[in-house]
Each structure stands twice: as C-alpha cells, then as structure tokens.
Amino acid sequence: MTDTISPEALAASLKGIMGRKNINASTLAKKSGVSMASLSRILAGSVNPSFTNILKIAGALNVGIDEIAQQHGGPISSVHTDIPTETAASGHSID
C-alpha cells in the first residue's frame, strides 16, 4: 500500500464522488474557488494538485480527504507533487 494517490486515481475518485452528489465540474469550480482550468486538469488526471486545492474541492463536495482517498482503495497521508524548486520556493501554487 502507498501513502500517496496518483493524479489518475484522484481524478477517478473525484469523478465518482461528483457523480454520487450530482455535481458537475462547473458548479464544483464555483463552489470550491478552484479555477475551471485547474479543475479540468485535476479531473483529467494530468496534474498533481496542491493540498490546498484538494482541501477546497473536498470542502465544496462536503467530504473529507479520507473519503476521496478511500474511493481509490487506500488511505492518503500525502499528495506527491512535481513542482519545480523555484516555484515551490516562491510559494506560488500551480494548481
């Protein structure tokens, strides 16, 4: 078992929760405050979102991050990122 969730697994989990809650991406973007462009990349499984954005999305869906992780079959204790050092050091989040 791993303590990280892949971008693809996160996307599948979020899509499942969104389906159960009957919420579309546009509404989720508005409720969470995550831009539609960022949310689209997250839902496509093409990025490692920031922990802040995961928390915003979880809050908008009214679920905990543990529920998002359980959807892919395991716990989550961290989200891995591939943010370049310069970006991470600047404190700016990409997604």
Are 43 and 35 spatial neighbours (Cβ–Cβ below 8 Å)? no
pLDDT of residue 69: 85
pLDDT at 3 over 70: no
Mean pLDDT of 55-71: 91
Mean pLDDT of 17-26: 97
More confident residue, 81 or 64: 64
What are the respective helix, strand and coil percentages of the chain, to the nearest 5?
55, 0, 45
